[in-house]
Each structure stands twice: as C-alpha cells, then as structure tokens.
Structure 1
Amino acid sequence: MSHPIHQANENNPYGDLTREEFYQKHRIIHQESFMLNKRNMKIFTQSWRLAPGPDDEKGMSLSMRGVVAMVHGYALDSTWLFELTAVAIAKCGFLVCALDLQGHGLSDGFPGHIPNIKHVIEDCIQYFDSMRHENPKLPAFLYGESLGGSIALLISLNQKNEWNGLILNGAMLGVSPKFKPAGAWLLPMAAFLAPTWKVASVKPHASKLYKEEWKRKLSANNPNRRTSRKPTTATALQFLRLCKYIRLRCHELEVPMLIVHGEDDRVCDCSSARFVYESAASRNKTFKSFPGVAHMLIGETQENVDLVFGTIFAWLRDRS
C-alpha cells in the first residue's frame, strides 16, 4: 500500500486537498478531543479508523484488525506528517490512536519541556488503556518514532503481557555521540537550577533528519509545532537517563517486536537499536536497518519510504 506522504507537497500534508477532503478521499473517520491527566493538564488526543463499508454492521468495520497506539517524537506532535502514517495504518484495518505529549502540539505544558518522563508515560497509558478497554477483543500494538519509540518501549515494560506487539521506528534507544549536549556532566546541576533553559547541543543539519528537501520544508510548516529541536536542560537530562535505563532493562522485553532504523541516523544511534534487539528476551523479534537512511524515515525517497513502511504494515497485518 502506498504511504499518503506521496500525495503531500511542501506546504500541505494533504496535497491539494483540505484535511476534511483528505479524510473523505481515504474513507477515514477521524475523532479528536482533550483528556485531563492526573496533573490537571489538558492533553490533546485523536483517533483514526476506516469508515464502515456497505457490508459492515453497527458502524464498526468487520475487517478491523486491532488497535495501534502511536507515540510521536520530540519537538513534533500527533498531526501533520505523523498523522499520515496513522491514516496509512488505519487503511490497513486498524483503529489508530495518538496524543500530543505535554509541551507539544495542542497539549498543555511549557513548549518542549518534559521534566519527568514518568508523567508522559502515565498520560499515554491513561489514554491508550481507555481505547483498548473500548475494544477489548482486538489485539493491541504500540508504535513509536524517535523519542516516542523509547516511550513505547517503557510502556510495554510497565504493562507486560498487555500488548501484542511493539514497533520502534528510528527509536531513541541511545543518543548519538555527535548529538549529545556539550558539558553533559553538568546537566544535573543545570536542570536543578534552570530546568527550562535550552541546551547548547550539536544540532544536526536538517538534511540529516529529512533527506528530501521538500519534506524538510513541509515539516517546518507545521502550524502546531511549538518548539525547536533544542531541549531544555531538564528534558535533556531525562533523555540521557532514559537511554541508560533502557539499556539496563531492555533484556526484560518479551513482547513481539519490530525495530526499523536508518544506518545513517545522526540523532538516535543505530547501534543502540541493535543492542536492544539482541538483548530483548522476545521470542518473536525482527531488526531491519536501512543503509544510507537518516533519522526521519518518512523523510526519505519514495522508494525508501515504501520499503520501510511496507515492512511495518506487513508486520502488523501478519500479527493481527
């Protein structure tokens, strides 16, 4: 199946269509709302599913394969480019759900500020559990990109035996040495004294994130984007601790797992992804690395996008 990114242009992920026309063309039912989390923050949530056809009953597609809970990456959100993948998965017959992490998109919070990763995981579990409980007979899968991959991994560790599969797309399982902040040893003190200061890090050129220039422009045009890629001191400290924690506990993973990663990823270390794959106790696990592919896999050429996401779609269909 072709990914909807191929119909986009540098100004609009929906091509020449409005968002509503885009959903109608792809026969997608889209719903969005806000959830109040345990810290009284408003968290934006949304879902996508294929509209029922003439042979379906009670408004639910008879071909519904499962639930896919998606987690976006840092400095991004659950709309724009990310929702194109959500629509593609929904067209495969899945109920797809996602939320904007705190400080991202339409959710409450200081822009890009994640002082405690545990709170983000709690938000995800709260929303994803509500979606799974509404569809108890469907198998459920976690999907995460970049930072969202590490969050999805921690959710699966916190909810062992509750998920039927885990997909990690360019996941932040280890930070590339070229992207670590300068003076990382000072982060604990800096995070304590000035938690919202921006970290001076080696910022990768946009071409190292998105290989195709028009997709870089499209990403920059996201109206819901609220922050640059430079994290706050508290957030950067959480990232480094998160990667260390994953390295220590990834051997406990037992969930069926697919890891896809670009070998030319200058942000999230590909070797760390391989380490997680080799360490995981999962009996059903697959690791696919792609030569010459950068961090944002959706930012690649059409050929590479079809290769990477074709692998993801096939994996989901085979396990639903």
Structure 2
Amino acid sequence: MESENQKLLQSYPYFWGYTPEQDYYTQQGIISSKSHFTTPRGLTLFTRSWLPQTTPPRGIIFMVHGYGNDISWTFQSTSIFFAQMGFACFALDLQGHGHSQGLKAFVPNVDLVVHDCLSFFTHIKQSNTTFMGLPCFLYGESMGAAISLLIHFAEPQGFKGAILVAPMCKISDKVRPRWPIPQILTFLAKFFPTWAIVPTPDLMYKSVKVDHKKVIADMNPMRYRGKPRLGTVVELLRVTDLLNKKLCDVSVPFIVLHGSADVVTDPEVSVELYEKARSEDKTIKVYDGMMHSLLFGETDENVQIVRNDILSWLNDRCNGRTVE
C-alpha cells in the first residue's frame, strides 16, 4: 500500500511541493495557466487552461466538473491527458465550488450556471485566432455531464460533440432520498435553502473504487465534505427530472460512458439516453464492474481503457488528425 500511495503522490507532485506547478506541467509536455472570469451576472469564477506545448491544438474541449469537486485536483489529470493528445482544454470552478465565488456547494439555479459556462466558453472561442475553425467539444462528469446537456440545449449548434461521463440525468434510487423526504426537503428549501442537512452519505467513497486513490481524493483541500444543502438538492432533483424527460431532444453527437457498478448515477439512464436521443452520431460504453469515478477512481489500467475510448472517439471527429 505504501508503494501505491507513493506512486500516486508522485503523479501529482506539485500538490505536495515536490515540484513547482509550472515545472510539473512542463514535464508533462503541456502549457497550463489559471485566471478568473467575471460572468455577465457579476460572479467571479476561477478558470484553468491546459494546452499542447509544441503543436497547434487540433480541437477544443470545454470541461465541466461534478458536484462537490473542482478543477485543480484529480479532475485535471484528464485535462492534462487531453492536452498531451493535442487538445486545448478549458474549465472553470462552478459557482460555490473550488476557488470560485459563492457559498460552498450551494447551487440554487442550474440555469444560471449553464449561462456562466456558455459565457466563458464563448469568450474563449473569441479570444484567440488560433482557435478559429477548430472543432469544439463539451466534456462533463456526473453533474457536469448534466450541465453539458443543458448547455447543448441552450446552444444546439455550438459544439461538434459531447463526452458524457457517468451523467447525472437521474439521481440513482440508491442514493436518492425516499418518500416523503423529497417532499419535506422541497418545503423546507423554500425557507432555509442554504441549510446543509440532507441525509446523504459522502459520495466520494461510493465513487472511487481503489483504496489508495480514496486517500488522494480525500486530501483535496477544496473538496466539499458537508451534507448537501437543501436548495442544491431540490435544484438537482428538478434538473435531473427535467433531463430525464428530455432525453429524446438530445441531438448533439455524443459518447456516453458509465460503470455498471455506479451507485451514484444510474447506468440504465445512460442506456436510455443512448436509445432515445435523436442524435445520428451516438456511442455508448458501459464498463462491467466499474464505479462512478471512471477517470480517476478505477485502477490505472481501467482509467487507461476509458481514456483510450474517449480519445478514439475524438480522433474520429477531428479529421483523423492524431498526435504521434
């Protein structure tokens, strides 16, 4: 176990002061930067970019993290991989998450979050002539995948495709509060929306399979560890119920990836998304025995399988251009 922990710590050396942050990115063969973006509604959000170091990007990936997560810890291992493969990646900490403005883990209106993301993504598209004409993709994990679908609904022609990792199109019945709790929560949320009292277990331990990776995930200083807030839960229930009814309206090309052992979001709903979506170009991958955190929490071998499936899908939609 000690050697496994050491191996994983070395994968993120700048977190522990082993390597200066920019030196680490240089060693990875990419360029990374961080900044802040002010949304049209005046909210200040923390942003990051990950770019190929030696070649022009062949596509842009706009990335959306999941509930309680952020873009500066394990999430960015996927961004680094995509940048190494020739893609320019951009992401922001959502309202109330990571280094962004807002009460921790309080998301009272997902529609506003969608507009925040769209504003930032549009800003990126228009900010650099290098990006003109490049194919643009959405990437979302869990709640971030649900938000990605809502972004698609808001701007149907804005993206060439979407990568949906364990999408929260419906909260799994295994973690969803049972009747009459949702009705009680909805009533209380009208008066006490910020109360962190919803009786839900820490989802990180239900998401990450490998024990020593649970240790790393739990070390994230920005990870939200409190109980879900009333207003956030009620809003996520509203949004997932809405999405579940609008699966047939999805028209963007997409790949949806889900673990069969996921107890946080429902893999059967991903199958339903694949079957109902009117997209002419759609792909589904359901991984036997894998859990919710497909791109970090699984064994390294499993993570690489998922990465390769996504990369193959991207390569097929970027005019066959690949990175050697």
* TM-score of the aligned structures, taking structure 2 as reference length: 0.89
Instruction: State the AA in 1 paired with 2:159.
Output: W
* 2:24 equivalent among 19, 22, 25: 22
* 1:176 equivalent among 172, 194, 201: 172
Unaligned runs of 5+ in 2: 319-324
State the Cα deviation string for residues 11-45 of structure 1 (Å, max 9, x = none): 86237544222201112111111111123221011
Name the SS for the 2:46 alignment partner: strand
What does residue 300 of structure 1 align with?
298
What does residue 58 of structure 1 align with?
none
* 1:257 equivalent among 250, 254, 257: 254
Quick check: 1:204–1:266 contact (8 Å CA) kept in 2?
no
What does residue 12 of structure 2 align with?
13
Name the SS for the 1:303 alignment partner: helix
Distance 2:5 2:79 in 1: 14
What does residue 244 of structure 1 align with?
241
Distance 2:29 2:173 in 1: 44
* 1:152 equivalent among 148, 163, 170: 148
* Structure 1 residues 102 and 261, CA gap change in structure 2 (3 angstroms): same
* 1:50 equivalent among 25, 49, 52: 52
1:211 aligns with 2:203: no
What does residue 322 of structure 2 align with?
none
Instruction: State the AA in 1 paired with 2:196.
Output: K
Distance 2:160 2:153 in 1: 13
Distance 2:64 2:204 in 1: 22
Quick check: 2:203–2:264 contact (8 Å CA) kept in 1?
no
Name the SS for the 1:260 alignment partner: strand
What does residue 271 of structure 1 align with?
268
Q: 193-202 or 262-271: which moved more? A: 193-202
* Structure 1 residues 290 and 319, CA gap change in structure 2 (3 angstroms): same
Quick check: 1:65–1:317 contact (8 Å CA) kept in 2?
no
What does residue 233 of structure 1 align with?
230
What does residue 82 of structure 1 align with?
75
State the Cα deviation string for residues 111-153 of structure 1 (Å, max 9, x = none): 0000000111011001111112232210000000010000001
Q: 188-197 or 205-214: which moved more? A: 205-214
Quick check: 2:196–2:226 contact (8 Å CA) kept in 1?
no
Distance 1:40 1:176 in 2: 34
Distance 1:42 1:293 in 2: 36
1:105 aligns with 2:95: no
Unaligned runs of 5+ in 1: 53-60
Q: 191-200 or 280-289: which moved more? A: 191-200
Q: 7-16 or 22-31: which moved more? A: 7-16
State the Cα deviation string for residues 176-212 of structure 1 (Å, max 9, x = none): 1121135011222111111011243341675431111
Aligned residues: 306
Name the SS for the 2:195 alignment partner: coil
Distance 2:109 2:209 in 1: 32
* Structure 1 residues 102 and 195, CA gap change in structure 2 (3 angstroms): same
* 1:130 equivalent among 123, 130, 136: 123
Instruction: State the AA in 2 paired with 1:86.
Output: S
Distance 1:205 1:161 in 2: 34
* 1:318 equivalent among 311, 316, 319: 316
* Structure 1 residues 206 and 157, CA gap change in structure 2 (3 angstroms): closer
Distance 2:124 2:62 in 1: 9
* 2:34 equivalent among 27, 32, 35: 32
What does residue 321 of structure 2 align with?
none
State the Cα deviation string for residues 45-93 of structure 1 (Å, max 9, x = none): 11110112xxxxxxxx34x211000000010101111111001001111
Distance 2:203 2:184 in 1: 25
Shift of 1:10: 4.6
